[in-house]
């Protein structure tokens, strides 16, 4: 009977085992927790591998014993065997052994937890703010790294390699969780509280992450990327972020795009240094239009590789692949080149400008905003004409 059942289930068992085995062979797995790229993630890795091995061996022993018992003592019509109660020696042994194993695991776990919570050696602070469904990064002034004025960006977190960076996380709306597996474990971003998360990257490169606390409709699309640059390249990135705004040339398509941006986008999106015709600075008012109070600051947008909460690439697949797969020595140069017109992912950017809620599920239906007092969660469909989209794309390309 049992043999027949196993025989029937054989394809299923083999199929599942094969799938699991093949999944473990994936080469393109940027969020693999078993590939640490920094000392904090390495600490977690060094802890989890032996714990996983011990747990695996114990699990295997227990599972084997259960399977053996099921087969050996299966019901064959034999009488019920003699029942016995109490075996102090065996019970004490089976209590002490797991307790000892847990105690050993606990010692190493606590040591790792304390190591990961250390903040006294911090070299750089970055404020990380979660919002449905994107992350904002602001860099307080830090003269040691040339940050003479605060920098604000989103989607991609840029850090210098070999630097102990402390992320001060919070949220503007619901609980989110920040996790870049290659650099550290996850930490919740909770409204009204500051949680600390230290990261450090060994090598230049891009490290992918994902919000890991269910936070609403587009939780699965709330992604993030940490970009590690050499210290020299980081200084260049900082210098670029601090560069003043340069208005597009007169009578250009981009200049027309700037006008469209002023009329349509500045209600929510800030571009530092942008002024109106009369010279007055433009201060966006996302707090009046967006439920959670903020919208991504688009200053130097084209120095980033992603948009819409890192859901879409600003680079075409070829150009993106060129950056992601570049060697450490050349990575900084390629990343700092930003987004050029030939490399711009026009398809997704134009699609986003044409109808953002269609590209990313958001609460952006004007007819369904009674609960939020008419405020959106995410970007609404602005009803832009193709001509306006053409102009806007030309303008956004100038925001380097």
Partner 1 sequence: MFTPGSKYLIAITGLSAFSLALYMLLVHPSALGAVALIGLVAATSLLTGITLFTRDGHAAEDQTSAATLDTPTPSMWPLVGAAGFSLVLVGTVTTPIVFIFGIVAILATLVEWTVQAWSERSSADVSYNASIRQRILNPIEYPVLAAIGVAVIIFSFSRVMLAISKDAGAIIFIVAASAISLVGLLISVRPQLKKSIVQTIAVLAAVGLVGAGIASMGFGLREDLVVAAEEDHYAHQECGEEKSEHFDKGVSETVSATSGADATIELVDGKLTAQVQGIEGLQDSITVRRANPSNIIFRNKDAGEFRLSAHLGKKQIADGVMEDVVTCTQLISEGAEQWLTLTINKPAVSGEPYTLSVPGVEGQSIVVVVP
Is 175 a binding residue for partner 1 by CB under 8 A? The answer is no
In 10 A of CB 83, how many CB atoms? 5
Residue 125 binds to partner 1 (criterion: CB under 8 A): yes
Asked if 192 touches partner 1 (CB under 8 A), the answer is: yes
Asked whether position 292 contacts partner 1 by CB under 8 A, the answer is: yes
Three-state SS at 2: helix
| 316 forms part of the interface with partner 1 (CB under 8 A) | no
CB-based contact 260:395 (threshold 8 Å): yes
Residue 283 near partner 1 by CB under 8 A: yes
For tokens 């009369």, what's the residue? 278
CB of 260 within 8 A of CB of 391? yes
Nearer to partner 1, 152 or 392 (CB): 152
Distance CA 336, CA 354 (A): 28
Are the CB atoms for 137 and 237 separated by under 8 Å? Answer: no
Does position 374 bind partner 1 by CB under 8 A?
no
How many Å is the maximal CA-CA distance in the chain? 98
The per-residue DSSP string of 259-274 comes to: HHHHHHTTTT---TT-
C-beta of 130 vs 204, nearer to partner 1: 130
Among 138, 203, 322, 390, binds partner 1 (CB under 8 A): 138
Structure tokens at 202: 């060994």
Per CB under 8 A, 188 contacts partner 1: no
Give the x-and-dash track for 92-121 against partner 1 (CB under 8 A).
---------------------------xx-
Distance CA(257)–CA(388), nearest Å, equals 7
Distance between first and last Cα of the chain: 70
Q: Measured from the CB atom, is 138 or 203 closer to partner 1? A: 138
How many of the chain's residues bind partner 1 (CB under 8 A)? 35
The residue among 40 and 270 lying less far from partner 1, judged by its C-beta, is 270
Positions that interact with partner 1 (CB under 8 A): 119-120, 122, 125, 127, 129, 136, 138-141, 150-152, 166, 168, 170, 172, 190-194, 196, 270, 281, 283-287, 292-294, 297
């Amino acid at each position: 009977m049992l043999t027949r059942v196993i025989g029937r289930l054989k394809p299923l068992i083999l199929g599942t085992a094969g799938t699991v085995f093949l999944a473990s062979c994936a080469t393109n797995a940027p969020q693999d927790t078993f590939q640490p790229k920094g000392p904090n993630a390495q600490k977690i890795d060094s802890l989890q591998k032996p714990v996983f091995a011990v747990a695996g061996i114990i699990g295997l022993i227990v599972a084997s014993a259960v399977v053996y018992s099921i087969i050996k003592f299966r019901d064959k019509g034999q009488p019920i065997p003699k029942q016995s109660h109490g075996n102090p020696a065996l019970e004490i042994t089976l209590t002490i052994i797991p307790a000892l194993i847990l105690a050993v695991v606990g010692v190493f776990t606590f040591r790792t937890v304390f190591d990961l919570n250390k903040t006294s050696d911090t070299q750089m602070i970055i404020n990380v703010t979660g919002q449905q469904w994107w992350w904002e990064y602001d860099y307080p002034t830090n003269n040691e790294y040339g940050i003479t004025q605060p920098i604000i960006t989103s989607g991609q977190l840029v850090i210098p390699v070999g630097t102990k960076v402390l992320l001060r996380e919070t949220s503007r709306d619901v609980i989110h969780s920040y996790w870049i597996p290659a650099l550290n474990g996850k930490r919740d971003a909770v409204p009204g509280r500051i949680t600390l998360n230290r990261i450090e990257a060994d090598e230049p490169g891009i490290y992918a992450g994902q919000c890991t606390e269910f936070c609403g409709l587009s939780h699965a699309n709330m992604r993030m990327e940490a970009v590690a640059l050499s210290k020299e390249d980081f200084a260049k990135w900082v210098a670029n972020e601090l560069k003043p705004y340069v208005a597009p040339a007169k009578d250009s398509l981009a200049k027309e795009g700037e006008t469209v941006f002023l009329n349509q986008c500045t209600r929510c999106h800030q571009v530092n240094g942008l002024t109106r015709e009369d010279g007055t600075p433009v201060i966006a008012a996302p707090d009046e239009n967006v439920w959670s109070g903020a919208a991504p600051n688009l200053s130097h947008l084209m120095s980033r590789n992603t948009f819409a909460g890192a859901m879409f690439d600003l680079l075409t697949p070829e150009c993106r692949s060129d950056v992601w797969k570049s060697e450490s020595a050349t990575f900084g140069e390629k990343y700092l080149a930003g987004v050029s017109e030939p490399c711009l992912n026009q398809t997704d950017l134009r699609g986003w400008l044409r109808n953002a809620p269609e590209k990313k599920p958001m609460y952006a239906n004007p007819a369904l905003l009674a609960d939020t007092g008419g405020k959106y969660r995410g970007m609404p469909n602005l009803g832009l004409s193709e001509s306006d989209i053409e102009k806007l794309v030309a303008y956004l390309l100038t925001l380097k």
